[in-house]
Structure 1
Amino acid sequence: MSAKGRRAGPDKQAARRRQQRQLAKAPLFYERPPFQGYQEWLIPQADGRFEVNSDTPPESRAYFARLEQLLLPLYDGRIPLAATYLDDRISEGSIPLAGPGTVSKVPLDQFAAHLGDHGNHAVTGHDSSPCPQLSCTGEDHDQAEHTIWQHLHHLHRAGFVLLDDLDVLHLAQPPRQRGGRWRLLDQETTAAPSPRSSMDD
């Protein structure tokens, strides 16, 4: 057997191990879910800042500052658009949650309790990151709200929750290997359920 042939096996094994590590660390990026919010990513410049023109409106500057300060650290320096949509849903105070054939708006505190019933969604790596400033003003700080915000983004980064093309949240299971299938735990297909009238209540 040639030297090239002898190297092929170990090289392939090393490549598979590298892919497994990548998938475990960033499943949303390396095995993108089948929804539009994961096809486009916000990636800053080498200095970790987004390029903002001098004539950019203040609200856009504030938007990119929030991304830099809060979401970039949580998502390891690159943010799927779906993460910004999740941020919007959290700030509204309720989450459109998919169930078997239905969608319901669940208040944040109830949603946090619902997640607590799913031990397989434990995620490590929580820290005392900056306050997300959802409803905190001045020295007022809602620690419970901050905890929910942080926990949801950690779950999302790990692939345990996904947003479909209607911004409906699904409890999910990421693929265990490259080329694997994402599982939505409320259904066994990747098609999102149609929202019911309860979404407009």
Structure 2
Amino acid sequence: MSKSRSRKNRSARQKQRARQDAARAARAAAGMCPLYGLNLPYSGYREWLTPIDGAQLPEDTPQDLADFSKRLQRIAPLYGGTLPLAAFYLEQQISAGVLRLESTADPSVAFEVDLPDMATVLAETAPLVGDDLPPGDVDEDTGELLHQLHALGALVLDDRHVLRLSVQA
């Protein structure tokens, strides 16, 4: 009896996986951000949320939550209107001003980089940024560039919420 139950559960898992794959393919075909088409093994990419544009928060909403909601609505277009849960984690790091990056020498090791230091690195190495960063908006522009790279699938967050470079075949 346990064998048939096992087979039934396996079948149910296969059906669920097929539904998830079909939904992922439909989102990718609809022109959503490239992250939709990737089958990333990290938990931050299992749930996708759609902020409601122009949604009114209750008056007693704490200011930091209201500000965070506004930032998410601002970055939603970078992800095609629907954000992976990992984008929330990335935005939290950007808001805190400290990014957790994977060590290229040892992927199990993460180190912290201040956002202004990351802006300097990006300004020196990324032609997308160059001299176009206005001095007063370095953190905001760097955050937006990080979200753009994330939406393209060039950066991903693992289950420890550490930024990793993504090499796609």
Whether the TM-score (by the shorter chain) exceeds 0.5 is yes
Task: Give the alignment's TM-score, normalised by structure 1.
Answer: 0.55
CA distance in 1, matches of 2:56, 2:48: 15
**Alpha-carbon distance change, 165 to 123 in structure 1, aligned in 2, over 3 angstroms:** farther
Match of 1:6 in 2: none
CA distance in 1, matches of 2:120, 2:159: 25
Match of 1:166 in 2: 160
Match of 1:15 in 2: none
Q: CA deviation at 1:84?
A: 0.8
The one-letter code of the counterpart of 2:161 is D
Q: Contact (CA 8 Å) 2:101, 2:163: kept in 1 or not? A: yes
Match of 2:142 in 1: 148
Unaligned runs of at least 5 residues, structure 1: 1-17, 125-140, 177-201
Larger RCO, structure (CA 8 Å, separation 6 or more): 1
Q: Contact (CA 8 Å) 1:123, 1:154: kept in 2 or not? A: no
Unaligned runs of at least 5 residues, structure 2: 1-24, 130-134
Q: CA deviation at 1:86?
A: 0.3
**Alpha-carbon distance change, 112 to 23 in structure 1, aligned in 2, over 3 angstroms:** farther
2:39 maps to 1:32 = yes
After superposition, residues 46-85 of structure 1 pair within 5 angstroms as 48=53, 57-58=61-62, 60-68=65-73, 70-85=74-89
The one-letter code of the counterpart of 1:88 is Q
- 1:63-120 Cα offsets, whole Å, 9 max, x none, are 434322x12111111011100110110111121110121211112232234445666x
**Alpha-carbon distance change, 165 to 51 in structure 1, aligned in 2, over 3 angstroms:** farther
**Alpha-carbon distance change, 40 to 116 in structure 1, aligned in 2, over 3 angstroms:** same
Match of 2:101 in 1: 97
Root mean square deviation of aligned Cα: 3.5
CA distance in 2, matches of 1:77, 1:153: 13
Q: Contact (CA 8 Å) 1:43, 1:79: kept in 2 or not? A: yes
**Alpha-carbon distance change, 61 to 109 in structure 1, aligned in 2, over 3 angstroms:** closer
Richer in helix (by share):
2
Q: Contact (CA 8 Å) 1:74, 1:154: kept in 2 or not? A: yes
Match of 2:11 in 1: none
Match of 1:42 in 2: 49
- 1:2-48 Cα offsets, whole Å, 9 max, x none, are xxxxxxxxxxxxxxxx99x7498622112231100010010246xx4
